[in-house]
Amino acid sequence: AQKVTQTQTSISVMEKTTVTMDCVYETQDSSYFLFWYKQTASGEIVFLIRQDSYKKENATVGHYSLNFQKPKSSIGLIITATQIEDSAVYFCAMREGDNNNRIFFGDGTQLVVKP
Amino acid sequence: NAGVIQTPRHKVTGKGQEATLWCEPISGHSAVFWYRQTIVQGLEFLTYFRNQAPIDDSGMPKERFSAQMPNQSHSTLKIQSTQPQDSAVYLCASSWDWGDQDTQYFGPGTRLLVL
């Protein structure tokens, strides 16, 4: 079973608007860690933001923020005031709270920001 | 900080040849990860090391693939008798290994093409 699911294959938005990308995860652990990465057209994978499961406050970094809904096992990424350069593939990922640092990735959501 | 360094960036091999991919983690990072990315399978975990010791190789194909970390400054992924289905982007990532400092940072990847 897939541990991390991103149902949106592709999203297209106009520049300067707000976009939300969905992600649901599956784990039996009480402690886990959630990440969002961005893969640019050049293939570079860049870390954006993380949410540790024990933290109640939604993480925010720059114009990225998270909508962490623990009862729904959901971790949405919100990008405000989108820019053309935000166009990329966005991956949601999870690390479970055991002693293993491997992370599980979703299939990614392609974001296209239009001028 | 140079980030994670991967060499070569591109490699073309003939079927049946050996391919060795190199990764230099961020200085001070104690965990090193290898992933493979293809259009069909997405981002797949292969293996990871902590303080140079192999921790989890559950994603490694049982035959032909091996990984080593002889010292803290580099890791290698070796594919023997390469096959066309091994064609992929191979990504290395590194992280610290404690607390909330375990975010993985990715290298630019090695694009392997097996003819």
pLDDT digits (tens, 9 = 90+) for B6-18: 999 999 999 999 9
Whether the Cβ atoms of residue A60 and residue A48 lie closer than 8 Å to each other: no
Segment B49-90, tens digit of pLDDT: 999 999 999 999 989 999 999 999 999 999 999 999 999 999
Distance from CA of A91 to the nearest CA of B (A): 9
pLDDT at A102: 84
**Which percentage of chain B shows pLDDT scores above 90?**
84
The sign of the dihedral angle between the CA atoms of A113, B2, B4, B7 is positive
B77: which 2 tokens? Answer: 């992924």
pLDDT at B22: 98
What residues of chain A score a pLDDT lower than 50?
Answer: none
Whether the Cβ atoms of residue A72 and residue A98 lie closer than 8 Å to each other: no
Would you list the DSSP string of B24-75? EPPTT--EEEEEEEETTTEEEEEEEEETTEEEE-TTS-TTTEEEEEEETTEE
Among all chains, which residue has been given the structure tokens 């991390």?
A4
pLDDT at A84: 97
Cβ burial of B94 (10 Å; 0-12, 13-18, 19+) is buried
Question: Of B33, B26, B31, B12, which Cα lies nearest the Cα of B87?
Answer: B12
Distance from CA of A81 to the nearest CA of B (A): 25
CA angle, residues A87, A91, A49, in degrees to nearest 5: 90
pLDDT at B73: 94
Whether the Cβ atoms of residue A29 and residue A39 lie closer than 8 Å to each other: no
The pair phi, psi for residue B84, each rounded to 5°, is -55, -35
Is 70 exceeded by the pLDDT of residue B1?
no
**Taking CB atoms and an 8 Å limit, are A95 and B31 in contact across chains?**
no
pLDDT at B45: 92
Cα(A90)–Cα(A100) distance, rounded to whole angstroms? Answer: 24
Cα(B109)–Cα(B89) distance, rounded to whole angstroms? Answer: 6
Contacts B97 to A, Cβ<8 Å: 101
Contacts A3 to B, Cβ<8 Å: none
**Residues belonging to chain B with any Cβ–Cβ distance to chain A shorter than 8 Å:** 31, 33, 42-43, 45, 48, 50, 55-56, 58-59, 89, 91, 93, 95, 97, 100, 102-106, 108-109, 111
The pair phi, psi for residue A71, each rounded to 5°, is -60, -25
